[in-house]
């Protein structure tokens, strides 16, 4: 895997990074746009509007996209509003309140592990009425990564074994759970599950993952912009 092209990166310095009220203000705006974008995604995959309406909306969306002007984040650049690793990731496709792709999942530490709560929509559907298996894997992979961070070892997935026991319903509050089951040098073994919030004791999906904490030299190569 190639490292991000450092020569293309224009990162803000610590001095220009928004803080305090300015940071809150920016994050609220990002969250508001993310919320509306998710509503648009939901409306897009539900609509039965005729072609002329779809063309009109397409033109409107193209005009809106054109308003997002100015400097654009390049590959590998950590957004000014983020804390990497382990803090806010405003555009994470799983937890990011600014991401149109994210449910977004709310993450809370619990005594014996870490819990994620979210509701997936029709945009995340695989079989009609049920969640796409890849989405379930994405939720678990992310939360299992958080479990590693919480254990003090930020790490990357090297193996993720999924078991799909029963279909996961869309439009239903879900409870995702992950906990570290063991460590061996830089390897962290993590287990995870997805259930409904209503009956979390029934595991619809379970996963076993192996995560590896990259050594410092590898970390610098992979993430040259990490503070
Ligand atoms: C600032 C710090 C940042 C740090 C990091 C933060 C990341 C914060 C992400 C946030 C977001 C989260 C999101 C969710 C988590 C993703 O989605 S991560 C993205 C998906 N994963 C990847 O892209 C990882 C790709 N893999 C790699 O780049 C490299 O394998 C790694 C992870 C850098 C490790 O490379 P390495 O340091 O050279 O490790 P290597 O020596 O090959 O293996 C170490 C050990 O693991 C074992 N191993 C390797 N592969 C496997 C495997 N498939 N199965 C079993 N064992 C294996 C090896 O056998 C070895 O064991 P020992 O021989 O030592 O007993």
pLDDT digits (tens, 9 = 90+) for 194-224: 999 999 999 999 999 999 999 999 999 999 9
pLDDT (mean) for 48-55: 98
Which of helix, strand or coil describes residue 167?
coil
pLDDT digits (tens, 9 = 90+) for 162-180: 999 999 999 999 999 999 9
The span from the CA of 3 to the CA of 154, in Å, is 18
The span from the CA of 110 to the CA of 153, in Å, is 17
Q: How far from 81 is each of 2, 30, 89, 91, CA to CA, in Å?
A: 25, 9, 8, 10
Evaluate if residue 1 carries a pLDDT over 60: no
pLDDT (mean) for 15-24: 86
Backbone φ, ψ for residue 69 (5° rounding): -100, -175
The span from the CA of 129 to the CA of 185, in Å, is 42
pLDDT at 5: 47
Mean pLDDT of the chain: 93
Evaluate if residue 82 carries a pLDDT over 60: yes
pLDDT digits (tens, 9 = 90+) for 83-104: 988 889 999 999 999 999 999 9
Q: How far from 222 is each of 5, 6, 65, 118, CA to CA, in Å?
A: 10, 10, 30, 30
Domains and CATH numbers, the chain: 1-227 (3.10.129.10)
pTM score, two decimals? Answer: 0.93
pLDDT (mean) for 173-197: 98
pLDDT at 137: 98
The span from the CA of 178 to the CA of 211, in Å, is 13
pLDDT at 18: 87
- Euclidean distance between the first and the last CA atom of the chain, given in angstroms as a whole number: 21
Q: Which of 156, 184, 188, 189 to mutate to test the pocket of ligand 1 (most atoms within 8 A of CB)?
A: 156
Distance 210 CA to ligand 1 centre (A): 8
Q: DSSP state, 163?
A: E
How many residues does the structure list for the chain?
Answer: 227
pLDDT at 4: 52
The span from the CA of 16 to the CA of 14, in Å, is 6
The span from the CA of 188 to the CA of 45, in Å, is 38
pLDDT at 86: 81
The set of protein residues with a Cβ atom below 6 angstroms from ligand 1 is: 1, 85, 141-142, 145, 154-159, 185-187, 210, 212, 214-215, 218-219, 223, 226
pLDDT at 15: 64
- Scan for tokens 């040259």, then name that residue: 224
More confident site: 41 or 19: 41
Evaluate if residue 3 carries a pLDDT over 80: no
Distance 155 CA to ligand 1 centre (A): 7
Backbone φ, ψ for residue 48 (5° rounding): -115, 25
């Amino acid at each position: 895997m190639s490292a991000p092209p450092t020569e293309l990166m224009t990162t803000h310095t610590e001095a220009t990074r928004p803080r305090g009220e300015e940071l809150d203000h920016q994050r609220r705006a990002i969250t508001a746009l993310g919320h509306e974008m998710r509503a648009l995604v939901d409306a897009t995959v539900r609509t039965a509007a005729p072609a002329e309406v779809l063309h009109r909306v397409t033109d409107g969306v193209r005009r809106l996209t054109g308003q997002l002007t100015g400097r654009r984040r390049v590959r590998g650049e950590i957004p000014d509003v983020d804390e990497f690793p382990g803090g806010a990731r405003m555009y994470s496709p799983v937890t990011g309140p600014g991401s149109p792709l994210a449910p977004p999942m709310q993450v809370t530490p619990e005594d014996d592990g870490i819990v994620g709560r979210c509701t997936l929509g029709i945009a995340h559907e695989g079989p009609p009425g049920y969640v796409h298996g890849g989405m379930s894997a994405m939720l678990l992979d992310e939360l299992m990564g958080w479990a590693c961070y919480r254990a003090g070892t930020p790490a990357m997935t090297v193996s993720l074994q999924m078991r799909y026991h029963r279909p996961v319903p869309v439009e239903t509050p879900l409870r995702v759970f992950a906990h570290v089951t063991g460590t061996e040098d830089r390897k962290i073994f993590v287990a995870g599950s997805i259930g409904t919030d209503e009956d979390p004791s029934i595991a619809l999906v379970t996963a076993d993952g192996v995560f590896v904490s990259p050594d410092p030299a590898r970390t610098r190569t992979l993430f040259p912009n990490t503070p």
